[in-house]
Amino acid sequence: MTKVLVGYYSQTGNTARMAGAVAEGARSAGAEVTLKKVEEVTLDDLVAADGIIIGSPTYYAQMAAQVKMLFDRSSEIRGRLENKVGAAFTSSASPEGGNQTTLISILECMIIHAMAVVGDPMETGGHFGAIAVGDPDQRSLETCRKTGARVARLAAKLSS
């Protein structure tokens, strides 16, 4: 069975709600899902996953420090995440809060690990991943579900 890890950091609960929707989407596509706060994600969790989806609130147009710390630790397993499927999602307080650059900062780390990254599966304007402004609305949550499902389906194809 395809394994998908959904890791997230959430201060207000908005990113946590998005993470739940991402996990729901991955499960709907038949994946075994591990949903964890990034502070609880281990290097073994990363290595064991076929797909890795990371969410962060937008802070100064970048990922949260807690998410960056996970990627900093992941340097110990460099080369072991190659060809895993990755995706990102973010939430912010305002539309001009730097959402796109936050997603890119997460995707850059995945690309450094030679992961295959996917963007927004819907044409909602997100391009690089799912975005919510404030409390995630139904459109944002649907994008999260579709992202989870897409990563699960692609990871299943690549791992077979």
Structural domain spans, the chain: 3-159
CB half-sphere exposure, 142, CA atoms < 13 A: 6
Q: Vertex 56, ends 3 and 131: CA angle to 5°?
A: 95
Task: Provide the terminal-to-terminal Cα distance of the chain, rounded to the nearest Å.
Answer: 10
From residue 53, give the alpha-carbon distance in Å to each of 47, 56, 96. Answer: 13, 10, 23
pLDDT in tens, the chain (160 residues): 999 999 999 999 999 999 999 999 999 999 999 999 999 999 999 999 999 999 999 999 999 999 999 999 999 999 999 999 999 999 999 888 899 999 999 999 999 999 999 987 665 556 899 999 999 999 999 999 999 999 999 999 998 7
What pTM does this model have?
0.96
3-159 sits in which CATH class?
alpha beta
Q: What is the pLDDT of residue 95?
A: 85
Let me know: does 88 contact 129? Beta carbons within 8 Å.
yes
List strand residue ranges (DSSP E) for 38-129, in order: 51-57, 85-92, 116-117
Tokens of 68: 């960056």
Instruction: Give me the pLDDT at residue 125, please.
Output: 56
Which pLDDT belongs to residue 115?
A: 98
DSSP-based helix, strand, coil % in the chain, nearest 5:
45, 20, 30
* Residue 122 pLDDT: 63
Q: Given this model, what pLDDT does residue 5 score?
A: 99
Q: Which of 34, 5, 40, 22 lies closest to 132, judged by CA?
A: 22
